[in-house]
Amino acid sequence: EAQVTQNPRYLITVTGKKLTVTCSQNMNHEYMSWYRQDPGLGLRQIYYSMNVEVTDKGDVPEGYKVSRKEKRNFPLILESPSPNQTSLYFCASSPGTGGHLNYGYTFGSGTRLTVV
Amino acid sequence: DAKTTQPPSMDCAEGRAANLPCNHSTISGNEYVYWYRQIHSQGPQYIIHGLKNNETNEMASLIITEDRKSSTLILPHATLRDTAVYYCIVRALTTSGTYKYIFGTGTRLKVLA
């Protein structure tokens, strides 16, 4: 089944403790992206990747890192999490480097992160 | 940046058509309008997209005004499972020459039994 898999689904952590949220897609998509969703703010893009070893900042990249060493994986790294990073996170992928929403932009099921 | 404006919430009776409006007055001439929906806190799901002409698929119809400054998503026979947040999205060109999609806060559609 074609899908984007995020892990974990739920995570509670303490301030300053490094964590990684994994994202993997099995569709051979070139474009991958991370979003965070907060009440009243909709979905905001954190980082995106046009292809292996090509990443760029989205709208809210502060406090996050990403890497794209393989096509299928696009982990989101929080080096020193803070409470303002408590949010619902989504990974998404699409074929092609343009990240076109009409070309089967597929979202993962989400990761609910709480930083205390 | 191209932006969209949607009503924050709407109600619709089950079995009736749900008409969700969207304003995108700053859309560029060659930019598509996309509609996605999000049920509960699941990942958003693609519904439909269009450029100038009206579009229809098995999920919905999309009506785009001639001046392209607004559009309407139509769910012809809404069911309780259509209760969700609906996002009207346009693409914006970034300063680095790539594109980003502005999701906004969407319209929370509640289908009533």
State pLDDT tens for residues B13-52: 999 999 999 999 888 877 889 999 999 889 999 899 998 8
Give B47-100 pLDDT, tens digit per residue.
Answer: 999 988 899 999 999 999 999 999 999 999 999 999 999 999 987 777 777 667
b/e sequence B24-46, b meaning 16+ C-beta within 10 Å: beebeeebbbbbbbbeeeebbeb
- Taking CA–CA distances from A58, the nearest residue in chain B reads B100
d(CA A3, nearest CA chain B) in Å: 11
Put simply, the answer to whether A99 touches B104 (Cβ < 8 Å) is: no
Q: Is the previous residue joined to B44 through a cis bond, with omega within 30 degrees of 0? A: no
For testing contact with chain A, the best of B39, B101, B108 (most A CBs within 10 A): B101
From the list B43, B96, B104, the residue facing A90 with the nearest CB is B43
Q: What's the gap in Å between the CA of B99 and the closest CA on chain A?
A: 7
pLDDT tens, residue by residue, A5-41? 999 999 999 999 999 999 999 999 988 999 999 988 8
Q: What is the pLDDT of residue A110?
A: 96
pLDDT band of residue A104 (cuts 50, 70, 90) is low
Is residue A50 within 8 Å of A116, Cβ to Cβ? no
pLDDT over threshold 90, residue B8:
yes
- Kindly determine whether residue A102 and residue B100, on different chains, have CB atoms separated by under 8 Å: no
Beta strand segments in B1-113, E: 9-13, 18-23, 33-38, 45-50, 55-56, 61-64, 70-75, 84-93, 99-102, 107-112
